[in-house]
Structure 1
Amino acid sequence: MNTNRKFFDPPKVLVSGFALIILVGAFLLMLPTATVDGKGLPFLDALFTATSATCVTGLVVVDTGTTFTLFGQLVILALIQVGGLGFMTFATLFAFLLGKRISLKERLLLQEALNQLSIEGIVRLVKRILVFTVVIEGIGGLLLAIRFSFDMPFWKAVYFGFFHAISNFNNAGFDLMGEFRSLTGYVDDPVVSLVVPILIILGGIGFIVMNEVYEYRQTSRLSLHTKVVAITTAWLLVASMALILLLEWNNPKTMGPLSLSGKFLSAFYQAVTPRTAGSNTLNIPDLTQPTLFLIVFLMFVGASPGSTGGGIKTTTFTTLLGAVWSQIRGKEDVILFRKRIVYDTVYKSLTVTMSGLFIVMFVTMVLTITESGKDFLMILFEATSAFGTVGLSMGLTPELSPLGKAVIILTMFAGRVGPLTIAYAVTLRRQPDPFRYPKGKIMIG
């Protein structure tokens, strides 16, 4: 029994599951039918692309639109969908279709995968997630298809519309526009510049929040989690949009030539996409350094728990801000919306943040060695983008050395699965100490 419990450890299953999906995806992308030249991708490039798609990052070493055949693009799209919703969600979907009952073990896996506090109502939540996904991606795909139909043949527009809707709702950022352009050709287009960011926001706030908002008419209540996610997301969006407008308004390479509406649309898009989609309508290398540093910060914070995005998450960021504010005011408890945050949550927030900072710093240091001669901000930007599973790049990704690619692959994987989940997966035993040490004091500050 003990052996079975060790084998069935949710963090281990999740880490192994994501790794297996990536390897299968890499193998499929190596097939001759996956690429236009009929040769397939080399193993490292295939592994990089499969990891980026499964971890819904969007960093690419080859251009998606011009390198891959329809088969290769559909493989990437499938990896994005499975990676965004989680392979356990899809396993549950197949169980539903086969009429299978969801076992306790599967419910525990879903709890870990969806970052839930309990297994109560977990199956109902998965059903809602699938419905939300179909509806949101369907509406977004339809709107984008209509817009693209003015620029390309009808069926190509339909395919492009749904590809970009799925990619951005899952916060992946892969695009088919060619030549690493992303959506820069639609910088002042109101349809693309509003529909895509809305898809990103909906994918990034998390399915728990969506579900509570959906049930609000019956319950007339929102949890503390939903309130924190909503307020933090709104504040980050408004503040970052205002700063981007201020910093880029007269930049001749970005917003300078745009109309008034184009400036606001592009600022809105660039404020949303670092959280954590990766598509862009302004050319990233042309942004000013203060804007690039702001984007680094936004990428590190990322989306919200239980979403398709990465980063340390909005709730982690707000909890730490609450802890700092409480300390400044001389208060013992962290209070958010008149609720006391338990110490376990504060400690976990600190652990997640420090783990993320360590990963970004370490990866940045390694890349300064493997990619010597490259600008430091470009390297920091790439490392943070990989950890936050964002996909924005200043142009370094296609030029990465083999070792640099391997480092970014591991970083994307750690960012998607989560540093804590990986730590739990490799830890042999996790149980509280049977005793407590005496208190000790050290000077701080």
Structure 2
Amino acid sequence: MFKRSGKKLRLNPPQVLAIGFMLMITVGAVLLRLPVSSSGEGNLSFLDSLFMATSAVCVTGLSVINTGAHLSAFGEIVLIVLIQVGGLGFMTMSTLIALVLRRRISLQERLVLKEAMNSESTEGLVRLVRKVLLYALVIELAGALLLAVRWSFEMPVGQALYFGVFHSISIFNNAGFDLFGSIPDRPGSLIHYAEDPFINIVSMALIFLGGIGFIVISDLLTYPKNKKLTLHSKVVLSASAALILIGTLVILLFEYTNPATLQPLSATGKGLGAMLQSVSSRSAGVSTVDIGLMRQATQFFIIIMMFIGAAPGSSGGGIKVTTFVILIGAMLAMVQGKEDIVLFRRSVPKDRIYKAITFALLSFFLVVLSAMILSTTESYPFLGILFEVTSAYATAGMSMGLTAQLTDFGKVFIIILMFVGRLGPVSLAYTLTPTPKKEPYRYPEGKITIG
């Protein structure tokens, strides 16, 4: 709440979220700009530090530097803190601080928290925050220990533990940053572990749990007692499983004979590689093959997967799997001549359908327009530009190699896209427009010919 011209200016929840993310990004950029954040290769420029801070807070994973080689230990800690706070949401962290200080959570704060958590109501939000923090801590700790044990066989125990903590937080929050650039002659991301079942399975588990959202995780943990799942959880789990399966088969089909990606791998490596890319493509940004060397058909398919994204209430981006399911449901209902979209014997309210269509169309137009603009400023093939734009907007973090070659304009443009993608175009529109007023009258209906 601020004062303007003697009057109180009330900020709506999306505006509070937007300002909060801006403040986190600004603080992160200032910290990453400090000499102590660099490892000796020269301080980051303000634009590069702003890019890295935005990518971390928006849990995207796109990087204009070699993270492991360029950042010092202090810089890496700043980056992982930004990822953690950005992934869980600054309102979640603010609520935690308030609970620790035994301060009462106001109604306005609950409304902002409701927006941040993509919840339907303010009821039980504080309990949900406690669960979110507990689940995140347990999952990240488990992931860190498992990864540290594996890496302790190839590096000192202290470094293995540090790598385990960093990568567990990064992967669970669907950020995709890695530190392997600090190891000489080691490729980035998880390419070195393409045929390592342990690293692949742990990584996929972290990505999956981070991408389905805390509401679904809470539902799964209470299932043994309640013996039921909410409609939201059923849709998210079934759609996620279907997309992972379809993605694995498509990537395996297109890349099986590609000598630059899956062909040199064993049968197990091919299966793991296809599945990890399928799981990761919808938000996480980690990979075990070079995305830039994939066939164009595979790259375009990954663009579609990134655009769909993860689940609401997670750290993942995209239009969200629930939006995608509603769109598919609307198409099937129209083809079958039905008036309602029915999912698991429940009809979808009309306002949800309108919201899904609005969100999907806004996202589509934004991605297409952004790709057209960058194609005039960046010297790069159009598919690579479309890939980069979709990855930034969907906070997926995958790249065909354009990120390091971006012009200053391109960097600023991608920064804006990552911010809009993390906040969501509909929420951003609410921050820039006044509270909508209900019309006192309705116009008579008219018919338009379709098809």
What TM-score bracket applies, with the shorter chain setting the length? over 0.9
Per-residue deviation at 1:220?
Answer: 1.7
Per-residue deviation at 1:248?
Answer: 1.0
Aligned residue for 1:43? 46
Q: 2 CA distance for matches of 1:2 and 1:70? A: 38
Q: 1 CA distance for matches of 2:64 and 2:411? A: 9
Q: Given residue 58 of structure 1, which amino acid in structure 2 is its aligned partner?
A: G
Which secondary structure does the structure 2 equivalent of 1:369 belong to?
A: coil
Q: Given residue 224 of structure 1, which amino acid in structure 2 is its aligned partner?
A: L
Q: Give 1:244's match in structure 2, choosing from 247, 251, 271.
A: 251
Q: Give 1:172's match in structure 2, choosing from 164, 172, 175.
A: 175
Q: 2 CA distance for matches of 1:306 and 1:380? A: 26
Structure 2 residue 192 is matched with structure 1 residue 189? no
Q: Given residue 90 of structure 1, which amino acid in structure 2 is its aligned partner?
A: M
> Conserved in 1, the CA contact under 8 Å of 2:41 and 2:70?
no
Which secondary structure does the structure 1 equivalent of 2:180 belong to?
A: coil
Aligned residue for 2:450? 444
1:43-442 superposed matches below 5 A: 43-178=46-181, 181-372=188-379, 374-442=380-448
> Conserved in 2, the CA contact under 8 Å of 1:302 and 1:314?
yes
In structure 2, do the counterparts of structure 1 residues 434 and 42 end up closer, same or farther at CA, with 3 Å as the change threshold? same
Deviations 1:180-202 (A, max 9, x none): 61110000101111101110110
Q: Given residue 320 of structure 1, which amino acid in structure 2 is its aligned partner?
A: L
Q: 1 CA distance for matches of 2:187 and 2:198? A: 21
Q: 1 CA distance for matches of 2:130 and 2:8? A: 27
In structure 2, do the counterparts of structure 1 residues 443 and 2 end up closer, same or farther at CA, with 3 Å as the change threshold? farther
Per-residue deviation at 1:98?
Answer: 1.1
Q: 2 CA distance for matches of 1:168 and 1:2? A: 37
Q: Given residue 152 of structure 1, which amino acid in structure 2 is its aligned partner?
A: M
Q: 2 CA distance for matches of 1:89 and 1:193? A: 30
Q: 1 CA distance for matches of 2:403 and 2:274? A: 24
Per-residue deviation at 1:8?
Answer: 3.1
Per-residue deviation at 1:39?
Answer: 4.1
Q: 1 CA distance for matches of 2:2 and 2:78? A: 39
> Conserved in 2, the CA contact under 8 Å of 1:58 and 1:391?
yes
> Conserved in 2, the CA contact under 8 Å of 1:381 and 1:394?
yes
Runs of 5+ consecutive residues of structure 2 not aligned to the other structure:
none
Tell me how many residue pairs correspond in the alignment: 444
Q: Given residue 263 of structure 2, which amino acid in structure 1 is its aligned partner?
A: G
> Conserved in 2, the CA contact under 8 Å of 1:277 and 1:309?
yes
Per-residue deviation at 1:431?
Answer: 2.9
Q: Given residue 446 of structure 2, which amino acid in structure 1 is its aligned partner?
A: G
Deviates more, 1:161-170 or 1:213-222: 213-222
Deviations 1:209-251 (A, max 9, x none): 0111111122221111110001100000001101111111111
Deviations 1:95-135 (A, max 9, x none): 11112122211111110100101001111000000000000
Deviates more, 1:36-45 or 1:435-444: 36-45
Which secondary structure does the structure 2 equivalent of 1:215 belong to?
A: helix
> Conserved in 1, the CA contact under 8 Å of 2:333 and 2:341?
yes
Q: 1 CA distance for matches of 2:63 and 2:419? A: 14
Deviations 1:397-416 (A, max 9, x none): 00000000011000000100
The TM-score, its normalising length taken from structure 1, stands at 0.98
Deviations 1:299-356 (A, max 9, x none): 0000000001000000000000000100111111111111111110000000110011
> Conserved in 2, the CA contact under 8 Å of 1:63 and 1:180?
no
Q: Work out the percentage of aligned pairs sharing the same amino acid.
A: 51
Per-residue deviation at 1:2?
Answer: 12
Q: 2 CA distance for matches of 1:199 and 1:22? A: 25
- Which consecutive segments of 4 or more residues in structure 1 shift more than 3 A? 1-6
Deviates more, 1:174-183 or 1:267-276: 174-183
The TM-score, its normalising length taken from structure 2, stands at 0.96
Q: 2 CA distance for matches of 1:122 and 1:114? A: 9
Which secondary structure does the structure 1 equivalent of 2:342 belong to?
A: strand
Q: Given residue 382 of structure 2, which amino acid in structure 1 is its aligned partner?
A: F
Per-residue deviation at 1:428?
Answer: 1.3
Q: Given residue 441 of structure 1, which amino acid in structure 2 is its aligned partner?
A: K
Per-residue deviation at 1:38?
Answer: 6.8
> Conserved in 2, the CA contact under 8 Å of 1:302 and 1:311?
yes
Q: 2 CA distance for matches of 1:160 and 1:435? A: 61
Runs of 5+ consecutive residues of structure 1 not aligned to the other structure:
none
Aligned residue for 2:10? 7
Q: Given residue 259 of structure 1, which amino acid in structure 2 is its aligned partner?
A: S
Q: 2 CA distance for matches of 1:443 and 1:6? A: 45
